[in-house]
Structure 1
Amino acid sequence: MFQSLCGTQTYKNVVVLTTFWDQVEPEVGARREAQLQSNFFKEVIQGGARFMRHNRTPKSAGALLSHVFNNLVPVTTQIQIEMGKEGKSLVDTAAGGVQQEEIERVVAKHKKEMADLKAELEAIKQSNTAARRELEEERSKLRQQLARWESEKAELKEGLDKERGARQKLEADIATERENHKKWRQEQELKFDARSNTINKAPQKTAAIQPTVRGLGVGYTENIDLKLIYIGNPNAYQFAQSEQYPPYLKSIPRKDRMSIFDIFNFSALTETAATLLFGSPTSPSMQSVYQIVARNRELHTKSRESARNGRPDFKPDMHFNKNIGLRDDWYTDAAFGQQQFTGTNATTITLAPQRWIEEFKTVSNVQQRADVASLLTDHPGSIFIQDYSDFRSAMGVSPSYEFTSDGRYGCSSVVLFHLEPEGKLHPLAITLDYKGSMKESVAIFNRRISSTIPGDEAEDWPWRYAKMCAQCSDWLRHEVAIHLVNTHLVEEVIIVSVNRAFDPSHIVFRLLEPHWSTTLPLNAAARETLVPKIIIPLTGFTPKQTYAFLKDSYSKFEWTALYIPNDLNRRGFPIEDLDKHKYHNYGYARNISRMWNILRRFVQTVLEDAYPGGDAQVASDRSVFAFYQDVRSSSGGQLSSFPDVKTLDELIDFVTMCIHIASPQHTAVNYLQQYYQTFIPNRPSALFSRLPQSLAALQKFTEDDVLSALPIRRPREWWIMAHVPYLLSFEMPQDSTILHYATTASNSRSNPSAIRKAAGALRNDLDVFSRDVYRYSLELDDQQTPYEVLDPGRTAISILI
């Protein structure tokens, strides 16, 4: 498209600017630059383009501008030649042709799909009515899509013709207006000259005009009778209630509406939609885990080679970026343990309560594992747990209930870890599916009580299966509770209540509004499509059970307990100890605690300026009072754990938490899904064979049993299971990061001075922190998978996807 728009004759005027040279080693940067020159920009370089480096200094910026203004001679672009000199319409240009080809390709694709469906309809005329009706519906949808594409094609041509006519008329009107204005100026100058000869030049008295200043904070008034008054826009922002979801916005205001094509990457969305409608492409039959790994490598290599070869039709797919299956040790205890610290869900690993230590000690004695019992007795302060045992109570089923849905199986595992003195988190024991007591459950202990003990982990199939059960349990906890509820849906309640209670000029509104982009329409799409049609059909739980778990997760959301300092201390990771060697592998904790402090300092600076009256002014703020009452109300947000906000510190914490949820917390639990979850054996969403009902049965497990638990014979579910994390993990544009927000907010004259000043300090803090992100990553024992997701240059400003 670039070549079609600009033409090869403009390549000599192209500058490819590479950045962040101040954050990488010179050799690393030079190597990456050489790759860009020899691969992605090879043709442009051959045409005369120049590479330049910017290290965020005035000198390098000046060098760029000097080159552009002093050395480059303007040239006419290809599209200017075609439209200006040759008189072509946009659709007849080379660029228009590229767009036209894409439309034609999609139209042809839909026509073929319609033909295929028609043939399939003919083949099943004698089959059951329900199947025929479903195919008719799909055919109707495709016909509508085809009609839409044909209509858009016609509208594109018609719109371009109208635009050209309107542009010509506008140019004529401007010329006329310019001529009229010239005549008017000449007349005014003549009148002024005539009047200036007689004008009285005595000085005139002028009245002083006092400017009116509208405050962005609330005025400080003592002893206000705080009645529940909504100062914001409660009519446009109303809560809706349902049996499946927490309270949500009843109707999205027009200004906030977006289509799914504005939210998701188009290529990934269409690829996922095609999988839902027509099933997955055929793939070779997998007879071993080795073949699955080899196939994953093959697809990754093929995607990368297509990019390197510069194929014009190449578009990155879910195999283009790396996933954990490319690691030789993806299945090991070390990789499994490290995922609790730097994986998609690094937020729930917790110091084991004494109750669980005692239960596992009892089982270890029964299974004659005295070494485990001794470790649990001697080092209770270093025993950690991932506890999914509450699934049955949350879903309202009995302790003995077997989770199954349409040939898929779910489980509620309990996993015990030892945080070793050197900082490795080593798995000790796993209960596959906790059914109210250890006696009724199947528990297995790791043969290797320490990470330093050698063993053939590749052939330990019972233990590998147990870890797969644990990852399956964590898939549900992460996707539904940690990701969907604790970020998306909680943030929506905050957005609605803030809009109901606060005037847009209020300083709290001004602080929070930048962190709402895309969230409301994205959540609506999740309720309408993602959860009922994709997430639930991937799990081993029924829709009723999944919705019950979702609502239960919301009811258990503890607002102040999840403030990062409180949360980490509660889970056994003291803030003051995070830089000690024992915790050096907990990348999420080290990064998120720093980010919390940075955000809180920013919020504190702004609110201390806006509330000079301190606690009394906050306590008398009608909007703050209305807000927290609305969040807790049974007819409002129903978030019972939300605190009173009556002091300045409480207000600072509340605003910090809102930004934290929307920005770094959502980034941490969302953007690693592609890496850890597109390779299905690492984190399956469900199991596809019944769980073993005894330890003896589990101990007989072989590779075939592990394979049967994967959706090998159900390729559509395999494909969707991989596509969903791929769809949800696209990196955000640079103008949607928190670093970009800090930069623009500090320079925007539309912001209150308090926000501008604080944003400048925020930018400086984030710059320093970005270097620490890379330092923390380099300090990890696991150097195969960097943990850089919370780099401010990659941290989304809001819940964008």
Structure 2
Amino acid sequence: MAEYKIEVTTGDTENAGTLDHIYVTLFGTEGQSKRTELGYLDIDFTTGAVTTYTMETSCCLGTLLLVKVEKDPHYILPEDEWYCSKIVVTTPDDDVILFPCYRWVSSGELVELRGGRAMKVYEEEHPLLIDHRKRERALKKSLYQWKIIDKGIPHFTSFNNSSELPAEIRFSKSKQHEMQNVAMMTDVALKLKRLIDSSEDWESFEEMKTIFCYKKTTMSEYVTQHWKEDDFYGSQFLNGINPNTIKRCSELPPNFPVTEDMVRPFLEEDSCLHTEMEDGNIFICDKAIMDGIPARNYNGEPLDVTAGFCLFYLNPDKKLMPIAIQLHQEPSRQNPIFLPSDPEPDWLLAKMFIKNADLMDHQAVHHLMKTHYLAEVLAVATLRSFPVIHPIYKLLIPHFRYTLPINTEGRKVLFGREGALRMSSLGYEGLTELMRRSLSELTYSSLCLPENITARGLESIPNFYYRDDGLKLWKIINRFVEEIMEHYYHSDCEVQDDSELQEWIHEIFMHGFLGNTDTGIPHCFHNVEEVIKFITMVIFTVTAQHTAVNDGQFDYSSWMPNGSLLLRQPPPTTKGEACMDTVLDTLPNVAETASIAGMLWLLSEKYTDVVPLGSYPEERFDEHDPKEMIKDFQDELSHLSEDITSRNSELKVPYTYLNPAEIENSITI
């Protein structure tokens, strides 16, 4: 006789427990156990329970390979689902083997769990495991399929509703309920104030301040007080929600004819534009990519979208100041260059139209396409290409938690009939065209923060906290990935021989970047270094980068004068004709403002089941070394968090979005 101890952990998520019959069968190199029932109609499998059972077999089963778990319904009680976190088996030789599960098990379902150390495909030797690996991948490919919505943007998962998704990747019931409650609270708050159905225009800026008495942040309050100030406007291109577009300007574009006389009053005394460019103090935001994209119709007439320029000057006080704005690409008498010395309404309108273009670029490209849509491609490719025993699956799957359900539902919320992004000046068709253009020009280096910063010439600009915190995070993530990958891949040949890894990157190349070799995205891996860099980019993108472009949306954009996705009036073509009422008329009306701000509320909300960056509550690695690497990773993140908190305590406008304590481990909202 041989004795096996079986420890079963039921998840602590809402309604994770079950009263159904649970059966286990052990498979080893020397045979298999009988199908054995564990517990029966008691508290063994209640939510959060950890229970241990003893199974006796007629002989030792040899090296343990698989655990088969079955759940049969009780004939009297209603059927339910059971969330099994993990099973740990102690063998007669006192080997302790982890069998991760972390999924819902339905009545009548059979689940086979792999245990032990992470295994690459060419390391498999036992026929049972080779067959299991093939069957697992075939099942995943049948479940997770690609869908092409538009030939010019990344491909999506084929599921139309989050309720259709396999249970292993759906929202937890508690997450689903909490999101529904927040949406309901937002809607009720707006309706109570009779905002959501009002087609009236705002009568004053003071009146706009009453929109969200139930929802304010320290930063959103600061924005309402300082939105007109040029230094605050400039700072947002470094540390606001879209720190991705500004770059150093060493030579003016020929279609942006700013003269020395125009900007001399705004430069240091006795200086000139040419000198300041040579000294690296001139920066530019160029929205040429939006030129010619048709805007949507509004009340029967097309709206205006400006694909212009904004020139910035880093002054001696280390403040980034806007000094010249041209609202369209081609200069003309009807397209003047606006200056800080122009009448206040003209200058405010010029800044608002640049910010309008920047916000649409932010939402469509830097937020949706470069984080959400890219994460969806990465998640689907990971689920299709890797079995759960693969080390890269174990490393990455925690970083795709809730990604597919939030994207599946988010597309309907953002682009549905009443969706806030459909309400933007470009509308659905315009934003989709913007994504097409951006994807066709996207480069691998632009997704890698160190290369991105260098390419834009922003290595030394002061007070650029997104860069400072982001580069430190990139290094910490890169060190962690390097340790994990070098633990499992001892040579470049092992990378080349890993057919599942090669299939993974090929799927990403084809479905995320549409097979465009000009992007520089690898379509295969030749060495360990390439894998380390790519996985660093993956983890940074779905954690830090998403947080940087998502979490500040309510802070910076709920106050519409600071930047709105919708501007209703055409931009100024002649100086001196606008007034402050023109500014108000250009902004969204009451209902439109409420809808956009409500969306930003939902997108920036923090939920109770947040998993911070570096936290891995699901125990997937069974080896000592990877577990220690995770601890070291967490320690480094903790030290960085302390440093950022200390720095922020001395800043008038703290930058909190890349504090590791504030970064989620995956895209969940």
Structure 1 residues 422 and 273, CA, compared in 2 at 3 Å: closer, same or farther?
A: same
2:313 to 414, 418, 424: 418
Partner of 2:171: 258
Distance (Å, rounded) in 1 between the aligned partners of 2:516 and 2:424: 27
Distance in 1, matches of 2:451 and 2:512, equals: 29
Where do residues 420-459 of structure 1 align in structure 2 (5 Å cutoff)?
420-432=315-327, 434-437=328-331, 441-447=335-341
The one of 642, 645, 665 aligned to 1:771 = 642
Aligned to 2:10: none
CA distance in 2, matches of 1:343, 1:209: 55
Aligned partners of 1:589, 1:465: CA distance in 2, in Å?
29
TM-aligned CA deviation for residue 331 of structure 1:
1.4
Match of 1:717 in 2: 592
8 Å contact from structure 2 (residues 394, 621) kept in 1: no
Residue 786 of structure 1 aligns with an amino acid whose one-letter code is P
CA 1:662/1:525 → structure 2, altered by over 3 Å: closer, same or farther?
same
| Structure showing the higher strand proportion among its residues | 2
Aligned partner of 2:603 in structure 1 is 728
The answer to whether the 8 A contact 1:405-1:541 is kept is no
Which amino acid in the other structure matches residue 474 of structure 1?
Answer: D
Q: Deviations over 1:748-798 (max 9, x none)?
A: 475433321111111110111012212443465xx0x31112222111110
Counterpart of 1:797 in 2: which secondary structure?
coil
The 5 Å alignment of 1:126-145 reads none
Deviations 1:72-96 (A, max 9, x none): xxxxxxxxxxxxxxxxxxxxxxxxx
Q: CA deviation at 1:239?
A: 0.9
Q: Distance in 2 between matches of 1:751 and 1:496?
A: 24
DSSP 3-state at the match of 2:433? helix
d(CA) in 2 for partners of 1:352, 1:680: 29
> Residue 292 in 1 paired to residue 208 in 2?
yes
- Cα distance in structure 2, aligned partners of 1:772 and 1:730: 25
**Does the CA contact (< 8 Å) of 1:472 and 1:687 recur in 2?**
yes
Structure whose residues are more often helix by fraction: 1
Change in 2 beyond 3 A, CA 1:720/1:546: same
Give the counterpart letter for 1:799 in structure 2: I
1:535–1:638 distance in 2 versus 1, CA, 3 Å: farther
Gaps of 5+ in 2: 1-14, 16-39, 46-91, 98-114, 124-133, 160-164
In the alignment, is residue 602 of structure 1 matched against residue 504 of structure 2?
no
Question: CA shift at 1:388, angstroms?
Answer: 1.3
CA distance in 1 between partners of 2:386 and 2:656 (Å)? 36
Displacement over 6 Å in runs of 4+: 171-174, 207-213, 274-279
State the Cα deviation string for residues 277-336 of structure 1 (Å, max 9, x = none). Answer: 99616699743334434x36xx54xxxxxxxxxxxxxxxx43466514565323101111
Counterparts of 1:750 and 1:617, CA distance in 2: 20
Taking structure 2 as the reference length, the TM-score comes to 0.72
For 1:280, give the aligned amino acid.
Answer: I
Corresponding residue number in structure 2 for 1:13: none
Cα pair distance change 1:561/1:679, threshold 3 Å? closer
The alignment status of 1:502 with 2:386, answered yes or no, reads yes
1:347 equivalent in alignment to 2:244: yes
- The corresponding residue for 1:204 is none
Aligned counterparts of 1:235 and 1:171: Cα–Cα separation in 2:
37
Specify the SS of the correspondent of 2:615: helix
1:377 maps to 274
Cα deviation code 1:535-578 (max 9, x no counterpart): 3332112432222112333333322332111011111122xx4x
> 1 CA distance for matches of 2:96 and 2:579?
81
1:529 aligns with 2:424: no
One-letter amino acid of the structure 1 residue matched with residue 657 of structure 2: V
Change (3 A) 1:216 1:521: same
Q: Secondary structure at the match of 2:471?
A: helix
Tell me what 2:150 maps to. Answer: 243
SS in 2 for 1:740: coil
Matched positions, count: 537
Q: Check 1:551–1:526 CA distance in 2 against 1; reply closer, same or farther (3 A cut).
A: farther
Contact map agreement 1:382 1:420 (CA 8 A) in 2 = yes
Distance in 2 (CA, whole Å) between partners of 1:262 and 1:519 is 13
Structure 1 position 627 matched with structure 2 position 504: yes
The alignment status of 1:551 with 2:464, answered yes or no, reads: no
For residues 173 and 610 of structure 1, the distance between their equivalents in structure 2, rounded to whole angstroms, comes to 37
Q: Select between 489-498 and 284-293 the one with higher mean Cα deviation.
A: 284-293
Partner of residue 350, structure 2: 466
Rounded Cα–Cα distance in structure 2 between residues aligned with 1:635 and 1:667? 21
Cα distance in 2 between the residues matched to 1:328 and 1:335: 10
Counterpart amino acid of 1:266? Q
Q: CA RMSD in A?
A: 3.6
| Aligned residues of 1:431 and 1:444 also touching (Cα < 8 A) | yes
Q: Contact 2:118–2:621 at 8 Å: present in 1 too? A: no
The aligned counterpart of 2:120 is 218
* Separation in 2, partners of 1:740, 1:511: 12
SS at match of 2:388: coil
Which of 455, 458, 465 is the equivalent residue of 1:573? 458
655-664 or 496-505: bigger deviation: 496-505
How far, CA to CA, are the matches of 1:755 and 1:684 in structure 2?
Answer: 46
SS in 1 for 2:259: helix
1:151-300 alignment, distance < 5 Å: 170=41, 215-218=117-120, 233-243=140-150, 245-251=153-159, 252-258=165-171, 262=176, 265-272=179-186, 280=196, 286-293=202-209, 295=210, 300=213
Does 1:657 find its partner at 2:540?
no
Assess, with a 3 A threshold, how the Cα gap between structure 1 residues 292 and 325 changes in structure 2: closer, same or farther: farther
Deviation at residue 735 of structure 1 after TM alignment: 4.7
SS at structure 1 position matched to 2:118: coil
Q: What's the offset of the Cα at 1:700?
A: 2.5
Structure-2 change in CA distance of 1:749 and 1:677 (3 Å): closer
Structure 2 counterpart of 1:753, one-letter code: H
Matched, 1:799 2:660: no
For structure 1, the residue ranges without an aligned partner over 5 or more in a row are 1-155, 157-168, 175-206, 222-228, 301-316, 449-458
Maintained 8 Å contact 1:461/1:703: yes
Q: Residue 391 of structure 1: CA displacement?
A: 0.7
Structure 1 pair 281–751 and aligned structure 2 pair: CA distance change class (3 A)? farther
The verdict on how the C-alpha distance between 1:500 and 1:636 changes in structure 2, with shifts beyond 3 A counting, is: farther
Structure 1 residues 438, 382: closer, same or farther in 2, change over 3 A? farther
- Give per-residue Cα distances to partners, 1:121-147, cap 9 Å, x unaligned: xxxxxxxxxxxxxxxxxxxxxxxxxxx
> Residue type of the partner of 1:335?
F
Please say which structure displays the higher CA radius of gyration.
1
Amino acid at match of 2:170: R
Between the aligned partners of 1:321 and 1:276, the Cα distance in structure 2 is: 24
2:233 pairs, out of 329, 336, 340, with 336
Q: 1:372 to 1:611 in 2, by over 3 A?
A: same
Match of 1:678 in 2: 558
Q: Is the 8 A contact 1:256 1:520 kept in 2?
A: yes
Distance 1:604 1:172 in 2: 43
Deviation at 1:220? 7.0
State how far apart, in whole Å, the 1-side matches of 2:648 and 2:467 are: 12
Shift of 1:272: 4.9
- Matched to 1:625, the amino acid is Q
In structure 2, the CA distance between the partners of 1:171 and 1:416, relative to structure 1 (3 Å rule), is: closer
CA–CA distance in structure 2, aligned partners of residues 263 and 636 of structure 1:
35
Letter in structure 1 aligned against 2:241: T
Aligned-pair CA distance for 1:217: 4.1
1:23-77 per-residue CA deviation (whole Å, 9 max, x = no partner) reads xxxxxxxxxxxxxxxxxxxxxxxxxxxxxxxxxxxxxxxxxxxxxxxxxxxxxxx
Match of 1:391 among 283, 286, 290: 290
SS at 2:227's partner residue? coil
1:667 Cα deviation from its structure 2 partner: 0.7
In 2, distance between residues paired with 1:691 and 1:404?
16
1:720 match: secondary structure: helix
Answer yes or no: is the 8 Å Cα contact 2:375–2:542 preserved in 1: yes
CA distance in 2, matches of 1:435, 1:722: 30
Q: Return the alpha-carbon distance in structure 2 between the equivalents of residues 515 and 634 of structure 1.
A: 19
Indicate how the Cα distance of structure 1 residues 774 and 464 shifts in structure 2: closer, same or farther if over 3 A, else same.
same
Deviation at 1:611, TM superposition (A): 1.0
